[in-house]
Amino acid sequence: MNLKLLSLSLAAAFLATACGNNQETQKETAQTVIEIPDVKHPEWAKNATIYEMNIRQYTQKGDFNSIIPHLPRLKAMGVDIIWVMPINPIGEKNRKGGQGSYYSVKDYKAINPEYGTMDDFKNFVKAIHANDMKIIVDWVANHTAWDHPWTANKDWYTLDSLGNFKPPVADWSDVIDLNFDNKDMRKAMIEAMQFWVKEADIDGYRCDVAMEVPTDFWNDTRFALDSIKPVFMLAEAEQKDHHQKAFDMSYGWELLHVMNGIAKGEKNLNDLRKYIAKNDSVYSNNEYRMNFVTNHDENSWNGTEYERYKDAVKAYTVLAYTLPGMPLVYSGQENNLNRALAFFEKDSISWGNYENQSFLSKLLLLNKTNPALWNGNDGGKFEEIETDKKEEVLAYKIQKDDKKVIVVINFSKKPVEVNLEKISGAYNNVFSGESFGIKGKTKLEANGFLVLE
């Protein structure tokens, strides 16, 4: 195991006196070496999938108690990790909109009263665990609300030239930037993160704008949290060094942008192939990546998946959920949520037919049950399959030992006949449940796909 040495200087002052003489205080500095190990993924994460839960918008009440009845459905759907958006009280000073941003945190050790009480949250965590799932909590370390108690310590924040608090970027006017040069602030932040693991038994964190916070802070944090229990850490970033000591998984933002570009006609399948090759060269097979077609930011600010992918939503979802990486489902995807949810206001999801749930379940359960699609070293690697329709079709195999998944996707708006003679054998069609034998040319509808195991 590679170990990073973290040196902590412990100053101890010793007063030496001699008879009849005043001597200066003698200071000696001792150094304690703490070994921070490389990330070790929790055993339960090897075939896990993840679901982002927007508490405010999930039900009409928008609280923990009203969400508990949904948990068995999510478990049956193939979800293993529930990522809940920030649970803390929201700042009132310089608040945006009527209810404010989830990411403007007023108190790191308290519960947003709109969601319930501390006891309600603990019961929510227990209910998630009772359904054999894990919970990670969204943590906002980069900034706080203007009315956070920490503002009593001005040197805990980044200040402007006049010595005033300032937002991290101009548009984030409802929050102020924290100063990670301050050791006391760092210590308080780590203690606050330990609080929720100790007090509520959560299983880790999704860390907001992780790239804006020094990596050595995240390294120290992971070490401190793992000393309580093994945790799972997700970085909202694409930063290679995050994976060594701090985070189990990072965002597949670049994959999302490539997919968006192909859907717009600004990129093509060769750009996708370049991304896959680049991702394989930058990240080791054991550095988890999170793949998705939407999340809270995309949905609220950049368009729903239906606006971006139109009739090809399912084709792009198949791609994202079968490439190496952990698939993410955002609140409402299983219900064909086809509108942007308001970010600063109450805007409940209208649950009803769950018409997309069966489709998503088949992909999530495939990720759970077929080792080819497991995470990191427990899963297989991407291998493209040659076809005669390279500009329209991407065909690939993911294989782990004798388990494999074959995926063929038509990214064109027209039906194609594609020669799949490079594939042989009998397979199960994941979506139809029927046996499927490859016999030369196969017809795919516009935006059509095959997923075989």
For residues 411 and 374, state if they share a domain.
no
For residues 432 and 298, state if they share a domain.
no
For residues 160 and 235, state if they share a domain.
yes
pLDDT at 44: 97
Residue 431 near residue 406 (C-beta atoms within 8 A)? no
Measured in degrees and rounded to the nearest 5, phi and psi for residue 33 equal: -100, 125
Counting Cα atoms < 13 Å in the Cβ hemisphere of 264 gives: 10
- DSSP secondary-structure letter at 394? E
pLDDT at 32: 63
DSSP string, 99-160: T--TT-BS-TTS--TTT--HHHHHHHHHHHHHTT-EEEEEE--SEEETT-GGGGSGGGB-B-
Strands 381-384 and 393-400: antiparallel
What the block records as the tokens of 11 is 């100053």
- The whole-angstrom separation of Cα 23 and Cα 334 is 75
What the block records as the tokens of 301 is 């600010």
Phi-psi region of 205 (alpha: psi -120 to 50; beta: other; left: phi over 0): beta
245: nearest Cα among 255, 257, 235? 235
**Domain harbouring 408, CATH code:** 2.60.40.1180
Residue 405 near residue 423 (C-beta atoms within 8 A)? no
Q: Which of 333, 348, 379 is the last residue of a domain?
A: 379
- The whole-angstrom separation of Cα 429 and Cα 424 is 14
What the block records as the tokens of 400 is 């782990």
For residues 16 and 146, state if they share a domain.
no
For residues 437 and 314, state if they share a domain.
no
Residue 453 near residue 404 (C-beta atoms within 8 A)? yes
For residues 103 and 140, state if they share a domain.
yes
pLDDT at 2: 38
For residues 429 and 447, state if they share a domain.
yes
For residues 294 and 442, state if they share a domain.
no
CA distances from 277 to 213, 326, 415 (A): 28, 18, 28
One digit per residue, the tens of pLDDT, for the chain of length 453 reads: 333 333 333 233 322 333 344 444 344 444 566 789 999 999 999 999 999 999 999 999 999 999 999 999 999 999 999 999 999 999 999 999 999 999 999 999 999 999 999 999 999 999 999 999 999 999 999 999 999 999 999 999 999 999 999 999 999 999 999 999 999 999 999 999 999 999 999 999 999 999 999 999 999 999 999 999 999 999 999 999 999 999 999 999 999 999 999 999 999 999 999 999 999 999 999 999 999 999 999 999 999 999 999 999 999 999 999 999 999 999 999 999 999 999 999 999 999 899 999 999 999 999 999 999 999 999 999 999 999 999 999 999 999 999 999 999 999 999 999 998 888 788 999 999 999 877 778 999 999 999 999
From the centroid of its chain, how far is CA 101?
A: 19
pLDDT at 358: 98
Residue 282 near residue 325 (C-beta atoms within 8 A)? no
For residues 251 and 325, state if they share a domain.
yes
362: nearest Cα among 76, 132, 128, 82? 76
- The whole-angstrom separation of Cα 258 and Cα 281 is 17
Count of structural domains within the chain: 3
For residues 15 and 85, state if they share a domain.
no
Phi-psi region of 429 (alpha: psi -120 to 50; beta: other; left: phi over 0): beta
For residues 128 and 18, state if they share a domain.
no
What the block records as the tokens of 246 is 């701090």
346: nearest Cα among 108, 99, 137? 99
For residues 398 and 370, state if they share a domain.
no
What the block records as the tokens of 378 is 């427990």
- The whole-angstrom separation of Cα 419 and Cα 173 is 55
- DSSP secondary-structure letter at 374? S
- DSSP secondary-structure letter at 85? P
Q: Which of 379, 404, 424 is the last residue of a domain?
A: 379
Kindly give the interhelix angle for 253-264 and 269-282, rounded to the nearest 10 degrees.
170
- Write out the residue range of the structural domain in which residue 30 sits: 3-36
Amino acid at 249: M
